[in-house]
């Protein structure tokens, strides 16, 4: 019975995938580009985060997909339950992941850059882990092809004239400062705790700066 249910669920995914845009998740704020190679999607938690992410994105090539809370832990569920879960379906259809177990086709992806952008708190870390687990178990090739990224908040933002630099620790900051002339004028902003990830301005910072995104491969998981 479980195998039959899983087969029916997979077939439903195939049928919806054929419909393409008409079956895309309703909360997906898509980008205007139809070229997957230049398109990227930010997976965020909740409508509030989705709203602030939309404010900071470039509509030409950046899409936003808000999730409704924590997704299913597929390590503890059978395949049929996974396919029936609405949030999992939204990920599969919204990203163009295809059906689990079938040959990976990068050309079928709607975005070649998938960025997980969750809050810098315990719940955010849990959601990020669940998403990474899903992608790894469902389509491991996403990591091997360099498609999976995680938004990582910097510790410092350094502004010197029109130039903006991000540093992830004290060592990076000191290294950057050594490149400036002794009499250089610049401003240092230190991000505290969850501020950079959880605030509207923080999400804008992360979305607008590719240096805040860390690429993962299967060895990182």
Q: Which residues are catalytic?
A: 45, 119, 121, 123
Asked if 115 and 41 count as a contact pair (C-beta separation under 8 A), the reply is yes
Place of tokens 């997704």: 71
* Angle, CA of 44, 132 and 5, to the nearest 5°: 100
For 29, phi then psi, to 5°, come to -95, 95
Q: 146-174 burial string, b = 16+ CB within 10 Å, else e?
A: ebbbbbbbbbbbbeeeeeebbbeeeebbe
Task: Specify the DSSP class assigned to residue 114.
Answer: E
The pair of three-digit structure tokens given for residue 19, joined into one six-digit string: 């419909």
Residue 75 to residues 72, 129, 132, 201, Cα–Cα distance (Å): 9, 12, 11, 35
* Angle, CA of 162, 167 and 168, to the nearest 5°: 155
């Amino acid at each position: 019975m479980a195998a039959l249910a899983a087969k029916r669920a997979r077939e439903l995914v195939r049928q919806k995938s054929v419909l393409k845009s008409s079956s895309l998740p309703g909360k997906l704020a898509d980008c205007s580009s139809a070229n997957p190679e230049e398109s990227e999607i930010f997976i965020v938690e909740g409508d509030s985060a989705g709203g602030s992410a939309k404010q900071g994105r470039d509509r030409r090539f950046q899409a936003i997909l808000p999730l409704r809370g924590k997704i299913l832990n597929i390590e503890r569920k059978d395949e049929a339950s996974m396919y029936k879960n609405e949030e999992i379906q939204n990920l599969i259809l919204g990203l163009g992941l295809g059906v689990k177990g079938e040959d990976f086709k990068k050309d079928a992806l709607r975005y070649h850059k998938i960025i997980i952008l969750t809050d810098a708190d315990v719940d955010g870390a849990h959601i990020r882990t669940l998403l990474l687990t899903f992608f790894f178990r469902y389509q491991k090739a996403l990591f091997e092809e360099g498609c999976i990224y995680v938004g990582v908040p910097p510790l410092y933002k350094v502004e010197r004239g029109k130039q903006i630099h991000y540093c992830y620790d004290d060592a990076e900051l000191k290294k950057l400062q050594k490149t400036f002339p002794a009499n250089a004028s610049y401003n240092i902003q230190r991000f505290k705790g969850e501020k950079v990830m959880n605030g509207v301005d923080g999400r804008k910072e992360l979305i607008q700066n590719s240096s805040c995104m860390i690429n993962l491969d299967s060895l990182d998981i």
